[in-house]
Structure 1
Amino acid sequence: MNIPQLQVTTTKAQLGFTTQQPTQQIEQPKATLDLQQPKAEMSINTTKSKLSIDTTEARADMDLKSAARRTSDVAQYAQSQVSNGIARRAQDGNDMMRIENGGNPIVAFAERAFRQPYSSLNVKFVPSIGSVKVSFQSGSVDIRVEPQKVINNSHANKPIHNYTPGKVTTELIQKPSIQIDWKV
């Protein structure tokens, strides 16, 4: 006996994929550096030191006097000698006026005039102690430094980013199908 049969034939669908890969490029440029350091401002002020040495008295002790000093000393000596001479002559005149009181004033005048004064023997240090006068005024140094700030005009550069997205395309290569047949 022939039994009818149902025959089913199917064809699968076939899909095709085409892929385009994505591309990405990243580039980081170096930072732009612009640094400047101005010089510091510096000022130096000095006061000179002063040394003063006065040797006038020490030179006078060694008989190395200036012309003005020697003239002054001679004038003082002459004035004192004149004063002494006037006083001595006045005294001599008074003694002569009182000759009646006794004594021999003329002989006393002669003895006084020709008597040698006693000289003393002393040790003298030349120049004398403290005759050199020294004075010193110290100087000073004033240093001022003003640092300057750094000028920073640097900046970072943004990255360069190029991106192309990927793409997938599909296509139907084979259509699906179903066939149904009866077989008797």
Structure 2
Amino acid sequence: MQLPSLNIQSVRGQTGIQSQRPHIQIQNHKPNFSIKQDHAFVEMSTQQSKLTIDQREAFASANSKHVYRLNEEFAAKAMSNAHQAIAKYAREGDQLMRIENGGDVIPHLAKVNSVLFPEKGITLGQMPKPFSVKVQFQRSKTNYRVNEGGVHVQAQKNVPTIQHRPWQTDVYVRQKQSIQFKAVGLQFNQQR
């Protein structure tokens, strides 16, 4: 005789885990630079030297004078001679006015005024006179103006680009659990 038994079959459940590691990608961009430089320059201005030579006195000592100067000298000499003559005649008049005081005023005046050509001395000189040529020299002048150039720098930073994928873990059911019951060795008579 065979005893009935119960046959149990079970399947364990299994879970699966799938994970993805994190990923970071950083892309760094170069900064943008703009550099502008102004050129330096130098300005120079020069005032030329000047040489002045005045020879008028040298020519005048050689009796080569301008007509205006001759006129001025003749007028000055005539004025001086006129003043000397007036002074001489005034002195002689004063002497004649005091004739009663005695003395030989008239014979003395006659002797002095009778000389037509007074004696002249001899003098030695150079022509032209020394140091009669005037020389002036003005040296040149140079002015400098320096304009320094400048450098203008503009920098623009660029933000890095970051791509990030976080750690991701997926849990799933690989195999579902199950249980089955089965009666073995039972025979039923289902008829009555």
Does 1:123 pair with 2:125?
yes
Q: CA deviation at 1:122?
A: 0.8
Give the equivalent residue in structure 2 for 1:134: 136
2:72 alignment partner, SS class: helix
Q: CA deviation at 1:61?
A: 2.5
Give the equivalent residue in structure 2 for 1:171: 172
Q: In 2 relative to 1, CA 129–117 (structure 1 residues): closer, same or farther, beyond 3 Å? A: same
Give the equivalent residue in structure 2 for 1:5: none
Q: Decide whether the 8 Å contact of 2:24 with 2:163 is kept in 1.
A: yes
In structure 2, what residue type is equivalent to 1:173?
R
Give the equivalent residue in structure 1 for 2:74: 74
Paired with 1:84 and 1:171, the residues of 2 have a C-alpha distance of 149
1:122 alignment partner, SS class: coil
Does 1:23 pair with 2:23?
yes
1:34 alignment partner, SS class: strand
Paired with 2:30 and 2:80, the residues of 1 have a C-alpha distance of 101
Paired with 1:126 and 1:46, the residues of 2 have a C-alpha distance of 37
Give the equivalent residue in structure 2 for 1:162: 163
Paired with 1:176 and 1:61, the residues of 2 have a C-alpha distance of 146
Paired with 1:148 and 1:133, the residues of 2 have a C-alpha distance of 45
Paired with 1:21 and 1:61, the residues of 2 have a C-alpha distance of 118
Q: Decide whether the 8 Å contact of 2:49 with 2:137 is kept in 1.
A: no
Q: CA deviation at 1:121?
A: 4.5
| Residues 104-136 of structure 1, C-alpha deviations (whole Å, 9 max, x = no match) | 96xx94xx43x5844514132514326516375
36-45 or 20-29: which moved more?
A: 36-45
Paired with 1:127 and 1:169, the residues of 2 have a C-alpha distance of 125
Q: Residues 140-159 of structure 1 correspond to what in structure 2 (within 5 A)? A: 141=143, 143=145, 151-159=152-160
Paired with 2:61 and 2:125, the residues of 1 have a C-alpha distance of 14
Q: How many residues align?
A: 157
Q: In 2 relative to 1, CA 143–149 (structure 1 residues): closer, same or farther, beyond 3 Å? A: closer
Q: CA deviation at 1:31?
A: 1.1
5+ unaligned residues in a row in structure 1: which ranges? 1-8, 179-184
Q: Decide whether the 8 Å contact of 1:31 with 1:156 is kept in 2.
A: yes
In structure 1, what residue type is equivalent to 2:125?
V
Paired with 1:162 and 1:40, the residues of 2 have a C-alpha distance of 48
Paired with 2:83 and 2:174, the residues of 1 have a C-alpha distance of 156
Q: In 2 relative to 1, CA 125–30 (structure 1 residues): closer, same or farther, beyond 3 Å? A: same
